[in-house]
Amino acid sequence: MNSSKRLKYLGVSLFLIILLIVVVSIYHNLTQVSQYSILYISNFSKIEDIIALNASTLFIVGSKTCGNISHGVAGYYYLNDNEFKQVNLSKLFCCGAIYSVAYNGSALMLAGACKISGVLHPAIALISYNKVTNLTSYIPMGYYPGRALAVAWFNKTWFIGGNFLFNLDQHYVSVMFLIGLKGNSTSNLTLNISNILNQLPEGCILSLSVGHNCILIGGKFVIYLVLFKFNSTSIYEINMTKSIFKYPGFIISLSQFNSSTWVVGGEYFPVNSTICHPYLVLYNSLNSCINYIKLNYTIGFVTSVSSYNGNIVVSLRVPFKTPQGVEGGTVILEGKINALKQTFDEVNISINQLLSLNNRIIGGGYKVTGNADEGILIFLNEN
């Protein structure tokens, strides 16, 4: 899941429970720690994902809520002109949202969901040379109710991951799915994951991160936290890496740190506990070695991680102690792996994605104002 690469939003309901457990919370005191600016983009209620197309152009996806109905929104944000240009998607993501976007240098792939006859279906669309093409028909039948939550370009293939509801013994469970789309050919890789786990792959895929010779797959795991990866020599071969925790939890965000190492963040739930704990680890894809990075927060969850020039930047959703009581908010940590410094904190804000561009950190998410959400971009390291 923050509504929530990324269901950042799947942790929200559990997070609300956390806010009620005041006696075990470690509160964060509000302090302004860095120069930053917040830009409200009225086209969005929530920004779910942002990518940089070049040094002056972002592509943003998310949703806009009108009353009780939301629909997917996507468009270009031009940094030099401070202008947003929305893409006409017709009804491709009607009554749904767009959760993820990927770029291959010439085309953009959008992943999200729409409602058809009152049922939520995964939806994907390609934007190429200003033309929008609906590719939802390439998602295998039966993956609904469901959502496409993550997308990536790797080995000349679009990878799309998400979840769907499966009727298991008269009750529905969330099951992850993963497909590869190359030209007009679709590879259904869900069965590969099921065979590796030796059971139904309950959970969902939330994040896909591409490296030089493999792609990492993260998400929600109901048994214990584990990473999957593809080897570039065969897109059909899925290897299960070393577990992060022997607990259920979420891998919410992945970011490549160097040619063989990723920064991985999310939340986990110890045995018999409903309280989510944030974690941040450094994962080496060559030897599956995992090194834990210390965080000064013990309650909440990591919503996004990003890497640049040997540094990392991390956003967390944590409880804040305010004059009004305990409220949810975001802190951002930045710096060397073993010397992270807090550079941002703000109540009632959620950051769903971070990136580094032009010596600035840019975050996309939303701010809660009254009973409404407003889509925002945050620019850190402002001069």
Burial of 175 (0-12, 13-18, 19+ CB in 10 A): buried
Angle at alpha carbon of residue 301, lines to 256 and 11, rounded to 5°:
110
The whole-angstrom separation of Cα 198 and Cα 192 is 10
Residue 25 confidence (pLDDT) above 80? no
Mean pLDDT of 169-179: 90
What pLDDT, on a 0 to 100 scale, did the predictor assign at position 232? 65
Better-scored residue on pLDDT, 221 or 27: 221
Residue 382 confidence (pLDDT) above 70? no
Residue 12 confidence (pLDDT) above 50? no
What pLDDT, on a 0 to 100 scale, did the predictor assign at position 361? 95
Given a contact cutoff of 8 angstroms between Cβ atoms, the answer to whether 134 and 125 are in contact is: yes
Closest by Cα among 50, 8, 111, 61 to 306? 50
Residue 9 — pLDDT band, cuts 50, 70, 90?
A: very low
Better-scored residue on pLDDT, 212 or 122: 122
Least confident span in 111-120, 193-202, 310-319: 193-202
Least confident span in 194-203, 285-294, 354-363: 194-203
Residue 248 confidence (pLDDT) above 90? no
Better-scored residue on pLDDT, 224 or 248: 248
Residue 88 confidence (pLDDT) above 90? yes
What pLDDT, on a 0 to 100 scale, did the predictor assign at position 31? 39
> Beta 249-256 vs 214-221: how paired, if at all?
antiparallel
Written as one string, the DSSP assignment of 207-255 is EEEE-SSEEEEEEEESS-B--EEEETTEEEEEEE---SBSS-EEEEEEE
Please tell me whether residue 130 adopts helix, strand or coil conformation: coil
Residue 268 confidence (pLDDT) above 50? yes
Residue 27 confidence (pLDDT) above 60? no
Given a contact cutoff of 8 angstroms between Cβ atoms, the answer to whether 288 and 241 are in contact is: yes
The reported pTM is 0.89
Estimate to the nearest angstrom the gap between the alpha carbon of 302 and the chain centroid: 10
Residue 141 — pLDDT band, cuts 50, 70, 90?
A: confident
Distance in angstroms between the alpha carbons of the first and the last residue of the chain = 33
Element (H, E) at 17: helix 12-20
